[in-house]
Protein backbone atom coordinates (compact mmCIF):
# COMPACT_ATOMS: atom_id res chain seq x y z
CA UNK A 1 0.00 0.00 0.00
CA UNK A 2 1.10 3.56 -0.66
CA UNK A 3 2.10 5.49 2.46
CA UNK A 4 2.07 9.30 2.19
CA UNK A 5 5.36 10.86 3.23
CA UNK A 6 5.97 13.47 5.91
CA UNK A 7 2.31 13.94 6.82
CA UNK A 8 3.11 15.79 10.05
CA UNK A 9 5.50 18.13 8.22
CA UNK A 10 2.93 18.78 5.48
CA UNK A 11 0.31 19.75 8.07
CA UNK A 12 2.79 21.95 9.92
CA UNK A 13 3.65 24.00 6.83
CA UNK A 14 0.26 23.90 5.09
CA UNK A 15 -1.69 24.75 8.28
CA UNK A 16 -5.14 23.52 7.17
CA UNK A 17 -6.52 24.08 10.69
CA UNK A 18 -7.11 27.67 9.54
CA UNK A 19 -9.91 26.40 7.32
CA UNK A 20 -10.44 27.60 3.78
CA UNK A 21 -9.94 26.19 0.29
CA UNK A 22 -6.99 23.88 -0.33
CA UNK A 23 -5.74 22.15 -3.47
CA UNK A 24 -3.99 18.79 -3.54
CA UNK A 25 -2.47 18.99 -7.00
CA UNK A 26 -1.37 15.34 -7.03
CA UNK A 27 -3.94 13.61 -4.84
CA UNK A 28 -2.78 10.09 -5.68
CA UNK A 29 -4.52 7.68 -3.37
CA UNK A 30 -5.66 10.43 -1.00
CA UNK A 31 -3.38 10.00 2.01
CA UNK A 32 -2.31 13.64 2.30
CA UNK A 33 -5.78 14.84 1.27
CA UNK A 34 -7.44 12.91 4.09
CA UNK A 35 -4.99 14.37 6.62
CA UNK A 36 -5.60 17.91 5.35
CA UNK A 37 -9.37 17.51 5.55
CA UNK A 38 -9.25 15.94 9.00
CA UNK A 39 -7.04 18.80 10.17
CA UNK A 40 -9.68 21.38 9.27
CA UNK A 41 -9.64 22.35 5.57
CA UNK A 42 -13.12 23.55 4.61
CA UNK A 43 -12.87 22.43 0.99
CA UNK A 44 -10.36 20.42 -1.00
CA UNK A 45 -9.84 20.45 -4.77
CA UNK A 46 -8.11 17.17 -5.64
CA UNK A 47 -6.31 16.82 -8.97
CA UNK A 48 -4.56 13.83 -10.49
CA UNK A 49 -3.68 12.79 -14.02
CA UNK A 50 -3.88 9.09 -13.17
CA UNK A 51 -7.55 8.05 -13.48
CA UNK A 52 -6.97 4.86 -11.47
CA UNK A 53 -5.51 6.81 -8.56
CA UNK A 54 -8.33 9.34 -8.77
CA UNK A 55 -10.93 6.57 -8.61
CA UNK A 56 -9.30 5.15 -5.48
CA UNK A 57 -9.09 8.62 -3.95
CA UNK A 58 -12.82 9.08 -4.60
CA UNK A 59 -13.55 5.97 -2.53
CA UNK A 60 -11.16 6.92 0.25
CA UNK A 61 -12.44 10.50 0.50
CA UNK A 62 -16.15 9.75 0.03
CA UNK A 63 -16.84 10.30 3.72
CA UNK A 64 -16.02 14.00 3.32
CA UNK A 65 -18.90 14.49 0.90
CA UNK A 66 -19.14 17.78 -0.95
CA UNK A 67 -16.07 19.16 0.82
CA UNK A 68 -14.06 17.35 -1.89
CA UNK A 69 -14.01 18.09 -5.62
CA UNK A 70 -12.11 15.53 -7.71
CA UNK A 71 -10.69 16.55 -11.10
CA UNK A 72 -8.89 14.41 -13.68
CA UNK A 73 -6.15 16.85 -14.69
CA UNK A 74 -2.42 17.36 -14.83
CA UNK A 75 -1.24 19.70 -12.06
CA UNK A 76 0.23 21.99 -14.72
CA UNK A 77 -3.37 22.82 -15.68
CA UNK A 78 -3.92 24.40 -12.26
CA UNK A 79 -5.00 27.81 -13.60
CA UNK A 80 -7.48 26.28 -16.04
CA UNK A 81 -8.95 23.95 -13.41
CA UNK A 82 -9.47 26.72 -10.86
CA UNK A 83 -10.95 29.01 -13.52
CA UNK A 84 -13.40 26.29 -14.56
CA UNK A 85 -14.45 25.90 -10.91
CA UNK A 86 -14.79 29.66 -10.43
CA UNK A 87 -12.11 29.80 -7.74
CA UNK A 88 -9.89 32.90 -7.76
CA UNK A 89 -7.67 32.25 -4.76
CA UNK A 90 -6.87 29.42 -2.38
CA UNK A 91 -5.52 29.12 1.15
CA UNK A 92 -3.08 26.31 0.47
CA UNK A 93 -1.65 24.11 -2.27
CA UNK A 94 0.17 20.81 -1.98
CA UNK A 95 2.01 18.88 -4.70
CA UNK A 96 3.68 15.54 -4.00
CA UNK A 97 5.71 14.95 -7.15
CA UNK A 98 6.58 11.34 -6.41
CA UNK A 99 5.26 8.21 -8.07
CA UNK A 100 3.21 6.17 -5.61
CA UNK A 101 4.07 2.65 -4.51
CA UNK A 102 0.82 1.43 -6.07
CA UNK A 103 1.75 2.96 -9.42
CA UNK A 104 5.27 1.52 -9.32
CA UNK A 105 4.21 -1.91 -8.16
CA UNK A 106 0.76 -2.21 -9.70
CA UNK A 107 0.37 -4.79 -12.46
CA UNK A 108 -0.06 -3.57 -16.00
CA UNK A 109 1.45 -0.11 -15.50
CA UNK A 110 4.90 -0.94 -16.83
CA UNK A 111 6.82 1.20 -14.34
CA UNK A 112 8.79 -1.61 -12.73
CA UNK A 113 11.16 -4.32 -13.92
CA UNK A 114 10.07 -6.58 -11.05
CA UNK A 115 7.61 -8.24 -13.43
CA UNK A 116 7.66 -8.64 -17.19
CA UNK A 117 4.77 -6.70 -18.70
CA UNK A 118 4.07 -4.17 -21.46
CA UNK A 119 6.41 -1.18 -21.27
CA UNK A 120 3.90 1.63 -20.65
CA UNK A 121 5.00 3.94 -17.79
CA UNK A 122 2.34 6.59 -18.44
CA UNK A 123 0.85 8.17 -15.33
CA UNK A 124 -2.16 9.04 -17.48
CA UNK A 125 -2.77 6.03 -19.73
CA UNK A 126 -5.40 7.97 -21.67
CA UNK A 127 -2.89 10.21 -23.42
CA UNK A 128 0.58 10.37 -24.90
CA UNK A 129 3.02 7.73 -26.17
CA UNK A 130 3.95 4.72 -24.08
CA UNK A 131 7.55 4.17 -23.03
CA UNK A 132 7.82 1.44 -25.68
CA UNK A 133 6.64 3.87 -28.38
CA UNK A 134 8.96 6.63 -27.15
CA UNK A 135 11.96 4.28 -27.16
CA UNK A 136 11.06 3.05 -30.63
CA UNK A 137 10.93 6.57 -32.09
CA UNK A 138 13.97 8.16 -30.40
CA UNK A 139 17.42 8.23 -31.94
CA UNK A 140 20.47 7.01 -30.03
CA UNK A 141 21.66 10.49 -29.00
CA UNK A 142 18.24 11.43 -27.60
CA UNK A 143 18.10 8.21 -25.57
CA UNK A 144 21.61 8.76 -24.24
CA UNK A 145 20.79 12.35 -23.25
CA UNK A 146 17.55 11.30 -21.52
CA UNK A 147 19.21 8.49 -19.56
CA UNK A 148 22.11 10.73 -18.54
CA UNK A 149 20.10 13.81 -17.63
CA UNK A 150 17.09 12.25 -15.92
CA UNK A 151 18.76 9.13 -14.55
CA UNK A 152 22.22 10.54 -13.83
CA UNK A 153 23.49 7.31 -15.37
CA UNK A 154 27.16 7.51 -16.34
CA UNK A 155 26.82 4.55 -18.72
CA UNK A 156 24.06 6.29 -20.68
CA UNK A 157 25.82 6.07 -24.06
CA UNK A 158 26.44 2.34 -23.74
CA UNK A 159 22.83 1.77 -22.69
CA UNK A 160 21.43 3.87 -25.54
CA UNK A 161 23.62 2.02 -28.03
CA UNK A 162 22.41 -1.31 -26.63
CA UNK A 163 18.75 -0.26 -26.86
CA UNK A 164 19.01 0.93 -30.45
CA UNK A 165 20.89 -2.23 -31.39
CA UNK A 166 18.31 -4.47 -29.74
CA UNK A 167 15.32 -2.75 -31.35
CA UNK A 168 16.79 -3.40 -34.81
CA UNK A 169 16.28 -7.09 -34.12
CA UNK A 170 12.87 -6.82 -32.45
CA UNK A 171 10.77 -4.10 -30.74
CA UNK A 172 11.61 -3.36 -27.09
CA UNK A 173 8.06 -3.74 -25.83
CA UNK A 174 8.24 -5.15 -22.28
CA UNK A 175 9.83 -4.15 -19.00
CA UNK A 176 11.73 -7.43 -18.88
CA UNK A 177 13.30 -6.85 -22.28
CA UNK A 178 14.42 -3.33 -21.41
CA UNK A 179 15.81 -4.34 -18.02
CA UNK A 180 17.84 -7.18 -19.52
CA UNK A 181 19.25 -4.92 -22.26
CA UNK A 182 20.38 -2.40 -19.64
CA UNK A 183 21.86 -5.04 -17.34
CA UNK A 184 23.93 -6.47 -20.16
CA UNK A 185 25.15 -2.99 -21.15
CA UNK A 186 26.23 -1.82 -17.71
CA UNK A 187 29.66 -3.08 -16.56
CA UNK A 188 29.52 -5.07 -13.30
CA UNK A 189 32.12 -4.22 -10.67
CA UNK A 190 31.34 -6.04 -7.45
CA UNK A 191 28.15 -5.69 -5.39
CA UNK A 192 25.67 -2.90 -6.18
CA UNK A 193 22.87 -1.90 -3.83
CA UNK A 194 20.51 -1.10 -6.70
CA UNK A 195 19.64 -2.99 -9.86
CA UNK A 196 21.64 -1.70 -12.89
CA UNK A 197 18.34 -0.93 -14.66
CA UNK A 198 17.01 1.37 -11.91
CA UNK A 199 18.39 4.69 -13.17
CA UNK A 200 17.40 4.01 -16.77
CA UNK A 201 13.82 3.11 -15.77
CA UNK A 202 13.63 6.30 -13.69
CA UNK A 203 14.93 8.39 -16.59
CA UNK A 204 12.49 6.98 -19.11
CA UNK A 205 9.57 7.39 -16.68
CA UNK A 206 10.47 11.08 -16.15
CA UNK A 207 10.83 11.58 -19.91
CA UNK A 208 7.59 9.85 -20.90
CA UNK A 209 5.57 11.75 -18.29
CA UNK A 210 7.34 15.10 -18.87
CA UNK A 211 7.80 15.30 -15.12
CA UNK A 212 10.23 18.24 -15.22
CA UNK A 213 8.59 20.16 -18.04
CA UNK A 214 6.78 23.33 -16.97
CA UNK A 215 7.31 22.61 -13.27
CA UNK A 216 8.43 26.23 -12.95
CA UNK A 217 5.26 27.34 -14.76
CA UNK A 218 3.11 25.35 -12.33
CA UNK A 219 4.92 26.88 -9.33
CA UNK A 220 4.32 30.36 -10.72
CA UNK A 221 0.62 29.59 -11.17
CA UNK A 222 0.41 28.15 -7.66
CA UNK A 223 2.06 31.14 -5.96
CA UNK A 224 -0.15 33.62 -7.81
CA UNK A 225 -3.27 31.74 -6.72
CA UNK A 226 -2.45 32.01 -3.02
CA UNK A 227 -4.62 34.29 -0.93
CA UNK A 228 -2.91 36.48 1.68
CA UNK A 229 -1.52 34.07 4.28
CA UNK A 230 -1.88 31.16 1.86
CA UNK A 231 0.78 28.47 1.84
CA UNK A 232 2.43 26.24 -0.74
CA UNK A 233 4.06 22.86 0.01
CA UNK A 234 6.02 20.88 -2.59
CA UNK A 235 7.50 17.41 -2.05
CA UNK A 236 10.06 16.22 -4.59
CA UNK A 237 11.95 12.95 -4.87
CA UNK A 238 14.68 13.77 -7.36
CA UNK A 239 17.54 16.26 -7.21
CA UNK A 240 16.53 17.79 -10.55
CA UNK A 241 12.97 18.41 -9.31
CA UNK A 242 14.18 19.87 -6.03
CA UNK A 243 16.59 22.19 -7.84
CA UNK A 244 13.76 23.56 -10.00
CA UNK A 245 11.53 24.07 -6.95
CA UNK A 246 14.27 25.84 -4.99
CA UNK A 247 15.33 28.19 -7.78
CA UNK A 248 11.79 28.98 -8.95
CA UNK A 249 10.61 29.91 -5.46
CA UNK A 250 13.65 32.13 -4.99
CA UNK A 251 13.05 33.79 -8.36
CA UNK A 252 9.39 34.42 -7.53
CA UNK A 253 10.39 35.89 -4.18
CA UNK A 254 12.94 38.18 -5.84
CA UNK A 255 10.52 39.27 -8.57
CA UNK A 256 8.20 40.73 -5.94
CA UNK A 257 4.95 40.27 -7.89
CA UNK A 258 3.76 38.36 -4.84
CA UNK A 259 5.21 39.03 -1.41
CA UNK A 260 6.50 35.55 -0.74
CA UNK A 261 8.24 34.15 2.31
CA UNK A 262 10.15 30.90 1.88
CA UNK A 263 9.49 28.91 5.04
CA UNK A 264 12.18 26.28 4.44
CA UNK A 265 15.70 27.64 4.02
CA UNK A 266 16.78 24.05 3.60
CA UNK A 267 14.54 21.22 2.42
CA UNK A 268 12.77 19.26 5.14
CA UNK A 269 13.54 15.54 4.97
CA UNK A 270 11.89 12.56 6.67
CA UNK A 271 12.97 11.64 10.17
CA UNK A 272 14.93 8.49 10.87
CA UNK A 273 11.88 6.56 12.08
CA UNK A 274 9.88 7.28 8.92
CA UNK A 275 12.83 6.61 6.63
CA UNK A 276 13.37 3.22 8.26
CA UNK A 277 9.66 2.34 8.12
CA UNK A 278 9.15 3.55 4.55
CA UNK A 279 12.34 3.26 2.46
CA UNK A 280 10.79 5.12 -0.48
CA UNK A 281 10.49 8.21 1.72
CA UNK A 282 14.25 8.53 2.10
CA UNK A 283 14.75 10.67 -0.99
CA UNK A 284 11.82 13.01 -0.25
CA UNK A 285 12.47 16.74 0.18
CA UNK A 286 9.81 19.21 1.26
CA UNK A 287 9.92 22.93 0.53
CA UNK A 288 7.28 25.45 1.61
CA UNK A 289 6.44 29.08 1.01
CA UNK A 290 3.84 31.55 2.29
CA UNK A 291 2.13 34.55 0.75
CA UNK A 292 2.23 37.61 3.00
CA UNK A 293 -0.98 38.26 4.91
Q: What is the pLDDT of residues 148-203, one digit of tens each?
A: 999 999 999 999 999 999 999 999 999 999 999 999 999 887 767 789 999 999 99
Residue 39 has pLDDT above 80, yes or no: yes
Going along the chain from its start, the domains and CATH numbers come out as 7-97+212-291 (3.40.50.150), 109-208 (1.10.150.170)
Instruction: Give the strand pairing for 43-48 and 21-24.
Output: parallel
Spatial contact of 242 and 267, defined as CB atoms under 8 Å apart: yes
CA geometry: angle 80, 86, 89, nearest 5 deg = 85
Helices 156-169, 140-151: axis angle to 10 degrees equals 140
pLDDT band at 1 (very low <50, low <70, confident <90, very high): low
pLDDT band at 107 (very low <50, low <70, confident <90, very high): confident
Residue 138's DSSP bridge partners are none
pLDDT band at 3 (very low <50, low <70, confident <90, very high): confident
Instruction: Give the strand pairing for 226-236 and 285-291.
Output: antiparallel
Q: What is the DSSP string of 7-42?
A: HHHHHHHH-GGG-SEEEETT-TTSHHHHHHHHHT-S
CA 74 to chain centre: 11
Which has the closest alpha carbon to 93: 138, 149, 44, 133? 44
Residue 8 has pLDDT above 70, yes or no: yes
List pLDDT tens digits, range 259-268: 999 999 999 9
Which has the closest alpha carbon to 45: 258, 288, 54, 235? 54
Residue 275 has pLDDT above 80, yes or no: yes
Give the pLDDT of residue 155: 97
Distance of CA 240 to CAs 100, 179, 203, 221, 225, Å?
18, 23, 11, 20, 25
List pLDDT tens digits, range 43-91: 999 999 999 899 999 999 999 999 999 999 999 999 999 999 999 999 9
Amino acid sequence: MHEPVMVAEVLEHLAPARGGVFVDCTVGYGGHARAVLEAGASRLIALDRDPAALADAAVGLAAFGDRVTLVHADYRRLDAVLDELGIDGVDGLLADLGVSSMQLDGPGRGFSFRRDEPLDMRMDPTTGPTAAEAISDADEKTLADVIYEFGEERHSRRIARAITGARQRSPVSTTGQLAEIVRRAVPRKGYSRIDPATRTFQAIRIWVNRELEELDVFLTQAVRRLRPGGRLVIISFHSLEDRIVKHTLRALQAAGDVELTIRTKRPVVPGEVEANRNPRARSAKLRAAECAA
